[in-house]
Amino acid sequence: MSEDRSTADVAGIRNQLTIAAGPGRRISELLMSEGWAVVVRQDTAETDPSDVDVVDLATGERSELVGPEPASGGSWALTGGDLYYPTYGDDRAYCLATSALADSNGEDGWCAPARTGFSNLTASEHGIGMMTFDDSRPACRTVNLLEAGLPQPIDGPTECVAWDVAATADGAVWSEVPKPRRQEEAVFRASADGTFLDLGPGTTGTALPCGDSVFFVRDPQGPGDPARLMRWTPDHTLEVAYESASTGNAFLGEPTCGGGVLTLSSYGEEGDESVWAAVD
Amino acid sequence: MRARTTIALALAMALTGCNGTVDGARPAPSGGAIDEPSVVEPTTDLLDWQDAGAPSGTQVRGPDWQGS
């Protein structure tokens, strides 16, 4: 999308279209899977429901989202043709809606109890991850995977300090923020077949399922250290999938994934770059 | 008897891919207990990154399309 979030371009082999946010709106989300693109146009006053365009990448056909009316903003996730997004239910309850894009079929799902909410949705073939939180100060955060449409807290995280979560074939990857005043610094952990692994430091809010793996960003850990993209594989290995040319004062943008392809922006004194790679 | 053993060994090697695991099977995790997770040391295995130009806003790319 453009720097000012006023337009989004969706380009395929045969089709290209530009979607404008429209007056009083900005593009808050651009999601893609193998077959679909979803463009979310949020009210800049963050009061009116978001408008959503759905593009069938096979035909280039553009349509409006079919399903419960979206809330303004919030966390969205797309896997295959299934879209997960926030909506409001009875008595302004904050609820999770799903839409099966191919079937033009949407429905309400679980609603957060009063004075609680949810965010940080992730979606893959292995499941849907979600962070729930309450209104205490600081908020008590719990990470969950959806089971039969309901969030179930995963085993492993320290109570109230988790942030990211993504499902894997035999468990989950999650993050914890050990120091409340250093919100961006997290430690990542994984569960696998009922055992638990420490994946080391990472950047809060960067966990991303893509292809067969879960990725997260690790900022430089020292002056001579590059920024890295870490990969937790189905073989239970932790791999450095990307290293920045810059060291020390270097950082990576939040990675994105579409149809098993990662896109990543890297910033530092050796130069900025945007790169993409297919995940094997 | 020796020929039968040789065939069985060859079959076993083919199935395991010479590394002791049945093809398609995932290695067992070497994790620890919930309060004592095993520390995993990373190895470097960079993806085959392609240049996508200068960073500009949010970009998403797939095999046959891109969004920006």
Q: How far is CA A274 from CA A55, A220, A226, A268, B24, in A?
A: 24, 18, 16, 12, 34
Task: Please give the pLDDT value at position B9.
Answer: 41
In this prediction, residues A32-48 reach a mean pLDDT of 92
**B50-64 pLDDT per residue, tens:** 998 777 666 787 767
**A188-245 pLDDT per residue, tens:** 999 999 999 999 999 999 999 999 999 999 999 999 999 999 999 999 999 999 999 9
Name residue B62's beta-bridge partners: none
**A176-185 pLDDT per residue, tens:** 999 999 999 9
The beta-carbon neighbor of A241 closest among B28, B46, B59 is: B46
Q: Which residues of B touch A258 (CB under 8 A)?
A: 60-62, 65, 67
The residue in chain B having the minimum alpha-carbon distance to the alpha carbon of residue A260 is B62
pTM of the model: 0.90
Task: Tell me which residues of chain A, numbers 138 to 177, contact chain B at a CB-CB cutoff of 8 Å.
Answer: 155-156, 169-170
Q: List residues in chain B touching A: CB distance below 8 A.
A: 26-34, 36-68
**8 Å CB contact of A274 and B56:** yes
The beta-carbon neighbor of A240 closest among B31, B42, B68 is: B42
CA distance B6 to chain A (A): 30
The beta-carbon neighbor of B68 closest among A1, A192, A278 is: A1
**8 Å CB contact of B32 and A13:** no
Task: Please give the pLDDT value at position B6.
Answer: 47
Domain ranges of chain A: 7-210
A109 band by pLDDT with thresholds 50, 70 and 90: very high
**A275 Cβ partners below 8 Å, 6+ apart?**
A242, A263, A264, A266, B49, B50, B51, B52
Name residue A61's beta-bridge partners: A56
**8 Å CB contact of B37 and A196:** yes
pLDDT > 90 in chain A, percent: 88
**B4-47 pLDDT per residue, tens:** 444 444 444 444 444 444 455 677 778 999 999 999 999 999 99
**8 Å CB contact of B49 and A277:** yes
Give the strand pairing for A116-124 and A105-111: unpaired
A15 band by pLDDT with thresholds 50, 70 and 90: confident
DSSP state of A138: S
**8 Å CB contact of B61 and A253:** no
Task: Please give the pLDDT value at position A11.
Answer: 82
Name residue A86's beta-bridge partners: A96
For residue A26, count CB atoms less than 10 angstroms from its CB and return exposed for 0-12, middle for 13-18, buried for 19 or more. Answer: middle
The residue in chain A having the minimum alpha-carbon distance to the alpha carbon of residue B36 is A196
**A147-191 pLDDT per residue, tens:** 999 999 999 999 999 999 999 999 999 999 999 999 999 999 999
CA distance A93 to chain B (A): 30
Q: How far is CA A69 from CA A24, A72, A111, A123, in A?
A: 18, 9, 14, 20
The beta-carbon neighbor of B62 closest among A2, A240, A261 is: A261
Q: Which residues of A touch B45 (CB under 8 A)?
A: 231, 239-241
- Average of per-residue pLDDT values in chain A: 94
Q: What is the ipTM of this complex?
A: 0.90
For residue A178, count CB atoms less than 10 angstroms from its CB and return exposed for 0-12, middle for 13-18, buried for 19 or more. Answer: exposed
Q: If one looks up domain A7-210 in CATH, what number appears?
A: 2.140.10.30
Do B19 and B13 meet the contact criterion of CB atoms below 8 Å apart?
Answer: no
Do A132 and A141 meet the contact criterion of CB atoms below 8 Å apart?
Answer: yes
**8 Å CB contact of B46 and A231:** no
In this prediction, residues A72-82 reach a mean pLDDT of 95
In this prediction, residues A77-90 reach a mean pLDDT of 96
**8 Å CB contact of A10 and B32:** no
Q: Which residues of A touch B58 (CB under 8 A)?
A: 1, 30, 256
Name residue A51's beta-bridge partners: A41
Task: Please give the pLDDT value at position A13.
Answer: 67
Separation of alpha carbons A184 and A256, rounded Å: 18
The beta-carbon neighbor of A195 closest among B31, B55, B60 is: B31
Do A6 and A21 meet the contact criterion of CB atoms below 8 Å apart?
Answer: yes
Separation of alpha carbons A211 and A125, rounded Å: 9
Task: Please give the pLDDT value at position B55.
Answer: 72
A1 band by pLDDT with thresholds 50, 70 and 90: low
Asked if A191 reaches chain B (Cβ–Cβ under 8 Å), the answer is yes
Asked if A200 reaches chain B (Cβ–Cβ under 8 Å), the answer is yes
